[in-house]
Structure 1
């Protein structure tokens, strides 16, 4: 592999790794699963990185790859995420310790979000990341109108879950 490409990838991943951590947080229930999913998403990002053309922002592309990987693995494993061993490329990525103490007040919200279906989870995640509906529709491959309608329905659904 091209060392310049590898360096660029590692730098971008280190800079944007919170995107991956946040996706992992929504689709996993424990630290081991979180770590496994993080590794799997990193592998998929690395495989796809040479094909990234820059048609969208790198962060939008990373969200799309991360969400698609998480959803695919989630569906395949029926709530248990299995990862593949990938020994041919070893990255030396400085990972930030993922500190969820600042997210403790969101515990109930995460619990409610986990009850949503895969697409609803992805949409809420992007909404909570302050993505506008144009970015949400690009990332999820749906129309902007559809994203707005779905988000309104999800808000109602979450209110019902949180306030039975």
Structure 2
């Protein structure tokens, strides 16, 4: 993967990649593996992008698909990949206790709800989230309200 492609096409969207990868991992090492695999898959499939959606929407879908696939693998021992560009510094999310509690709560959500709340936290409009998930914007609005209530119950009294 060229540094130019990474810098111009992936790095501007690293925030959502980081959030989604973090929500599907339990350690910094796994997080880094997921992040690098997402970057690799974006690079490998870059020529398949057909401009039918925004580049960011396409990246979200690849990231979700890679994370879901990797998280379903029971045994990733021996999992190797080539060295990719450095992961942005803000990805050291495992060091913040309150953030760890939030991600622990998010991990208790269904896969679809997890994806929805991560996209919402990235401040995507309901319409774009609906496009990514494959439902209506009204459905997303209702689900986000339910997810927030569920997270509040899970986190009540745990975060300062």
Q: Tell me the TM-score normalized by structure 1.
A: 0.78
The 1:29–1:148 alpha-carbon spacing in structure 2 relative to 1, beyond 3 Å, is: same
Offset at residue 133 of structure 1 (A):
0.4
Offset at residue 16 of structure 1 (A):
2.5
Counterpart mapping for 1:9-158 below 5 A: 9-11=5-7, 12-74=9-71, 76-78=72-74, 85-86=80-81, 93-97=85-89, 98-100=91-93, 103-158=96-151
In 2: Cα distance, 1:83 partner to 1:17 partner: 26
In 2: Cα distance, 1:107 partner to 1:86 partner: 27
The 1:132–1:82 alpha-carbon spacing in structure 2 relative to 1, beyond 3 Å, is: farther
Q: Tell me the TM-score normalized by structure 2.
A: 0.80
Q: Which runs of 5+ in 2 are unaligned?
A: none
Question: How big is the alpha-carbon RMSD for the aligned residues of Structure 1 and Structure 2?
Answer: 2.7
State the Cα deviation string for residues 78-123 of structure 1 (Å, max 9, x = none): 5x66785455xx75x3432333388543332222111111111110
> How many matched pairs?
155
In 2: Cα distance, 1:160 partner to 1:17 partner: 29
Greater displacement, 18-27 / 128-137: 18-27
Q: Which runs of 5+ in 1 are unaligned?
A: none
